[in-house]
Structure 1
Amino acid sequence: MARVTLQTIADRLGVSRATVSYAFSRPDQLSDGLRRRILEVADELGYAGPNPTARSLRLGRAGALGLLFSETLAYAFADPYALGFFQGLATAAEEAGVGLLILPLPHGDRRSDTVRDAVVDAFCVVSLPDGHPALAEVLARKLPVVVVDEPYVPGHPFVGIDEPAAGAAAAAHVLGLGHRRVAVAMVGLHDDGHTGWADRARQESAVFAAMRARRGGYQTACEQAGLDWDDVPFYEVARNSREAGRKAGHALLRLDPRPTAILTNTDVLALGVLDAAADLGLDVPGELSVVGFSDSAAREAGLTTIRQAKQEIGEAAGRLLLSGAAARPERRLFPYELIVRASTAPPPS
């Protein structure tokens, strides 16, 4: 069967190809009757409409935002914080009538070809490690870019929270209750798959800037309370999963002396630590206090945590891109809030 084109329709009707094209791309240029007749003939001949890729090249826009983040797609749709952020970004995109092209980069994946080939009008970059080749490729495209959480890129808008202050608030809470045997379980420092103890050198060399800063907030609060940071047990996990949090919890709770408070940088890890405490028959908060981060999976578990405006952050990133404001290097920090629930209390006497 011969391929039906705009010219095929034009020949059938005895009009110009440009006139037929207007029926699909600029209907305001035609009378209602003529446009209706063109569409009827197009339907009769089996013409579905212009090629969207070709149309995007002609118009100079693709009608889509590229969402680039450092995780697998399966993880993103299971993680409560990521889901809240995606909902916010999708809301902004939907209001503007554009789509989202999701470009996941699992930890350790150093490819940049997905960015190079993406047909998008702008990029929202979420939590990439320092020096990732995909970020360099994004910047080389010369499209509008907004970075969320990390890394900060001078000259481009940034959306996130004050990570050092939020980390310090989480640590200061348990320190203010009187805890001095404090430990930390964290994910998102490196993308090399390591799980185990992390000394200060490894902590400070973290390639994810937001988590590096959050950890710095923990350290600042502990040192202000008179603790030697090198004496604070620090366990790193490669994946943000409840089972990884459980493993970290068991490792930390086997220490002698045992910590009376554990800080985690996600609610998911905190829930795993609570599982470990239950395995060992420890009372929370009587014998152990646990603090999470983001308030995305915490309420039902009675978890003390730092609340982030995840959906609002997603909406703000999308609107910056869609409004044209991405051309201005704004640094927008959203508020955070310490939410105290039943997982924290003074240490056992």
Structure 2
Amino acid sequence: MASLLEGQARPIRLADIARAAGVSHGTASNVFSRPEIVRAEVRERVKAVAEQMGYAGPDPKGRLLRAGKVNAIGVATTEPLSYFFDDPFARVMMAGISEACDATGAGIALVSAANQEKLAWNIQSALVDGFILFCIEGGSRLVDLTRERRLPFVALELGFQDETVSAIGVDNVAGARLAARHLAELGHRRFAVLSLAFADNRTGFATPEIVRGALYTGTRDRLAGYFEELARFGVDTTKIPVYETENEEKSTRAGLEAIFDRDEPPTAILAMSDRMALIAIDWLKARGLKVPQDVSIVGFDGVPDGALCTPALTTIAQPITEIGRRAARMILDHDGAVRRETMGVELIVRASTGPAGKS
């Protein structure tokens, strides 16, 4: 039997199995798709032929594509694939997306690539019904590539001024004001900001020109919220160092080195993500600085890791899991409408903040 298609280069098809087993194409198809309507002896013969010929069954992609839906969501980022597992924000967001998919039996395809050419291929070839975009760095590129697929997509931030892009995010200005007010009311007047990206592929101290030209308005909005609130307490915000990071360990540590090498180091750090804040706590402790006695820190996200570190992290908590659930529902229940949702945040006070010292 194995020699029936010997020398044949093309893949084995269902028609080949039907011919070899001496049944119609329809009968062979029913063996794999509706076996209950096929006589047992015919089923066994067809399956035996298929096994001997190395045929595993019809390609599900063809059936799904003919049906017009593949029942799967693509979750895309320009970060390496490890981002989905290493970043605490991404892990919680994926939990929310997974909950919505589990409820409907939908699958999830992780789409990522730091290389732009590979990213384009991954977006174009992903077998999905739509995309959820983690718009960190390269967000505009993700939007452009996804538009080309002509599939529904939703961005996980409101940092795009294009009102034709569906997006879910939080009130970044309000959240940043809460963080800054908390520290100012504790008496802090010397601040530094560990910033998310204002644009792609850049780290270092952010000038006013960089801030004004920000590609990611979510980052700009958080900085605006910090500065607006601190100005109410008489803080000269022009003297506050703002260090743009890639929201990972290397650039965050470089930012801390640069900030604390200045003549007047801060007594309070405003970190635009919990990930940066947690890195900062470890960095400060390793250099003999106490948190919060010497330096207070406020993060932004509300990831579970913040409650477990020592000291526990004061943060601006956003409803990450709910954002993930809603994003997934936007794709699964897509009706052609563009939706932009802004969700609230809250200040969670823990042990990483305290009164300003006398230094």
| TM-score bucket (shorter structure) | 0.7 to 0.9
Partners in 2 of 1:204 and 1:109 — Cα distance?
30
Residues 41-190 of structure 1: matches in 2 within 5 Å? 41-45=45-49, 46=51, 47-106=55-114, 111-129=119-137, 132-152=140-160, 153-190=162-199
Change beyond 3 A, Cα 1:20–1:320: same
Deviation of 1:113 after TM superposition, in Å, equals 2.9
Q: Report the counterpart of residue 330 of structure 1 in structure 2.
A: 339
Partners in 2 of 1:14 and 1:177 — Cα distance?
84
Deviation of 1:128 after TM superposition, in Å, equals 4.8
Partners in 2 of 1:37 and 1:64 — Cα distance?
36
Q: Report the counterpart of residue 268 of structure 2 in structure 1.
A: 261
In the alignment, residue 80 of structure 1 is paired with which amino acid?
Answer: P
The partner residue of 2:44 within 40, 60, 69 is: 40
When the two chains are superposed, the root-mean-square deviation of aligned CA atoms in Å is 2.6
Q: Report the counterpart of residue 341 of structure 1 in structure 2.
A: 350
In the alignment, residue 126 of structure 1 is paired with which amino acid?
Answer: F
Q: Is 1:270 the counterpart of 2:277 in the alignment?
A: yes
In the alignment, residue 289 of structure 2 is paired with which amino acid?
Answer: L
Deviation of 1:93 after TM superposition, in Å, equals 2.0
Q: Report the counterpart of residue 320 of structure 1 in structure 2.
A: 330
SS in 2 for 1:292: strand
The partner residue of 1:285 within 284, 287, 292 is: 292
Paired residue total: 342
Partners in 1 of 2:158 and 2:165 — Cα distance?
12
2:78·2:142 contact (CA, 8 Å) conserved in 1? no
1:155·1:328 contact (CA, 8 Å) conserved in 2? no
1:250·1:273 contact (CA, 8 Å) conserved in 2? no
Q: Report the counterpart of residue 234 of structure 2 in structure 1.
A: 226
1:179-201 Cα shifts (integer Å, max 9, x gaps): 1111111233332142x222121
In the alignment, residue 127 of structure 2 is paired with which amino acid?
Answer: V
The partner residue of 2:316 within 300, 306, 309 is: 306
Q: Report the counterpart of residue 206 of structure 2 in structure 1.
A: 198
Moved more, 202-211 or 70-79: 202-211
Structure 2, unmatched stretches of 5+, are: 6-10
Deviation of 1:339 after TM superposition, in Å, equals 0.7
In the alignment, residue 294 of structure 2 is paired with which amino acid?
Answer: E
TM-score (norm 1): 0.87
2:78·2:138 contact (CA, 8 Å) conserved in 1? no
2:31·2:46 contact (CA, 8 Å) conserved in 1? no
Deviation of 1:41 after TM superposition, in Å, equals 3.1
SS in 1 for 2:308: coil
Partners in 2 of 1:105 and 1:112 — Cα distance?
9
In the alignment, residue 183 of structure 1 is paired with which amino acid?
Answer: A
Deviation of 1:114 after TM superposition, in Å, equals 2.3
Partners in 1 of 2:345 and 2:30 — Cα distance?
50
Partners in 2 of 1:42 and 1:97 — Cα distance?
30
Deviation of 1:20 after TM superposition, in Å, equals 3.5
SS in 2 for 1:190: coil
Q: Report the counterpart of residue 8 of structure 2 in structure 1.
A: none
1:246·1:274 contact (CA, 8 Å) conserved in 2? no
Partners in 2 of 1:240 and 1:229 — Cα distance?
25
In the alignment, residue 285 of structure 1 is paired with which amino acid?
Answer: P
2:27·2:38 contact (CA, 8 Å) conserved in 1? no
Deviation of 1:23 after TM superposition, in Å, equals 4.6
1:285-305 Cα shifts (integer Å, max 9, x gaps): 222211111122211221111
